[in-house]
A and B are shown apart, each in its own frame.
Chain A
Amino acid sequence: MESEPADSGTPAARRRYDPPLPAPPSFLRRGPFRANAFTSPLHEPRTVVVVGRWLGAALLLCFLTGLVSHLLQDPPAWLAPHLPARPVNGYRVTQGLHVIAGLAAIPLVGAKLWAVYPRLFEWPPARSVLHALERLGIAVLVAAVLLELFTGLLNTLQWYPWPFPFRQTHFWLGWLATGGLLVHLAVKAPLIAANWWRRAAPVPAGRRAFLTSVFAATGAVTLVTAGQTVPWLRALDLLAPRRPDLGAQGLPVNRTAAQAGTLTVPAGWRLVVDGPRPYELTLAELGELPQYEVELPIACVEGWSATAQWGGVRVSDLLARAGAPTGSDARVTSLEAEGPYRVMEMPAQYADDPLSLLALRVNGEVLTADHGFPARIVAPNRPGVLQTKWVARIEVVA
């Protein structure tokens, strides 16, 4: 691939801002550094642009949906009151897309990096200071993207062989990777623009076959995994780490009661509701309050989601009974002894929503321990980790 022509300034001005670097002695130019070391005609810009467009789209989709997930799960104080409780399936769609796009990016990034591989051995390795910086930026971009895809894939299996925390690292690397992508797009803009449309020049032998196989690979990966969230692809869910109908009571579980240490509920459990008029209710008393049935999805950050029929008491009824003024936020605490989501903040728009329940039943049965017995929260358009299980206490927050 030819590099883009100098786009601004005279050569002298360019040298001033971008001092040239001396070329290494030419006897070092061996092996893959030689001029014609790579002979496939597909190491050319048009092929790279066709694959790169899809890869770029997938990565940007990952970044944006990841940001949505982060903001829904851990909103800054100013944003929390504005998070929408609709559409009901919003998080299910954005997080499903996050994982679908991330998995699709795996074959795309493979194809893209193969197509540009000879650029790794360009000669001289660095023409100027800016060129060296640009290449360093590419290294950061590729390393960040590869690590993002790797950690994201393994996280869907709950497999953590690395020494750093997944969530924080995946989040910050996302900024690095996306920033690197934008810089890369800015640097390569002329080359991308020149190859955006098919040129009149003859198509290199094998380009169509190569692109077809890359898109077939992307399609195959999507087809055999997307069924963990897309209902009509469930029959093809062969390699995804979850299937929406497999688990206790026909529903997967993110964290079991055994893992959370909530297998047995303390004798004499009572729901504590704190507010202007605090009260406590036994499970039997909860069952005597007006009951509602809602259909809501559990949508996990790991990319699976499943709709279920939930039955129980409206959160808004419980808050009103405690004398909470309308528009109050709620804070829900679980029985679990520890865990990052033991205490869950529920902004007013979710707490007031008629679909938000303190559920006692799922799919017509009393909740099992894994699904949060004696009572759990379900609310629309929220990440699964905020659908607090094993609820002990609900507080009215002014």
Chain B
Amino acid sequence: MSTALRGLLLAAGLGLIGYGLYGLLGDPYITDPVDVLVWGFGGLVLHDGLWVPLLCLLGAFLVRGPVLRGWLVVAAAVTAVGLPAVLRAGDDGGNPSVLPLPYLRNWLLVLAATAGLALLVALVGRWRRRDPAVGRRARAVGFRDRAVRRRAPRGDRS
């Protein structure tokens, strides 16, 4: 990317940030911008200080195999999006067309259906590994965040 384009992108980005800050601080409806700061910073701390460390520990010590990992990624995503509806089900503020579905049942249904699919993928993988022609490719999967001291240091990791 040319330096000029990079500079343009940088300037545009700084301009947008400036406009956003100006608006956030000057908006008559946002009476206390500190609230926004607290919630923004709070989200950052919860995500980086609690959620990701938990994820790394789980991945390093408990969860093995690409299919189980993959399903957990899917389950986490579906939960992140669906859990508010599960928690909030029935609380429609007097408007029955908000949250009209059985969300707990649906959430479990999605988890079960994706688990079933994952199981199918695992079985197909096992069956294919018995076929030597495709075995080599199939073995090259599996991502992990293994415990620290067990492995030799590698330069390409930060």
Contact = CB atoms under 8 A, between A and B. Distances in A.
Interface residues of A, number: 102
B12 to A, nearest CB: 5
Given A110-B77, A179-B20, A143 B43 contact: yes
Given A41-B157, A209-B66, A213-B70, A114 B52 contact: yes
B9 interface: yes
B135 interface: no
Interface in B130-158: 140-148, 151, 153-154, 156-158
B93 to A, nearest CB: 6
Given A42-B143, A172-B27, A205-B142, A225 B70 contact: no
B10 A182 contact: yes
A216 B70 contact: yes
A153 B70 CA distance: 24
Contacts of A165: 29-30
B145 to A, nearest CB: 4
B107 A239 contact: yes
Interface residues of B, number: 82
Interface stretch (A21-29, A30-38, A381-389): A30-38
Main secondary structure of the interface of A (DSSP, over half): helix
Interface string B2-18: 01001101101111111
B123 interface: no
Nearest to B153: A36
B139 to A, nearest CB: 9
Given A42-B143, A103-B81, A143-B44, A186 B6 contact: yes
B47 interface: yes
A326 interface: no
Contacts of A162: 35, 39
A314 B15 CA distance: 44
A189 B9 contact: yes
A225 B13 contact: no
Given A36-B154, A187-B10, A216 B73 contact: yes
Given A143-B40, A147-B39, A259-B95, A175 B78 contact: no
Nearest first, the 5 A-B pairs at minimum CB distance are A206-B143, A179-B16, A182-B13, A175-B20, A247-B97
22 contacts: A8-B3, A39-B148, A40-B143, A140-B17, A143-B44, A147-B40, A153-B84, A154-B84, A157-B85, A157-B99, A158-B95, A164-B36, A173-B20, A179-B16, A180-B13, A182-B9, A183-B17, A184-B13, A206-B141, A216-B70, A238-B109, A239-B106
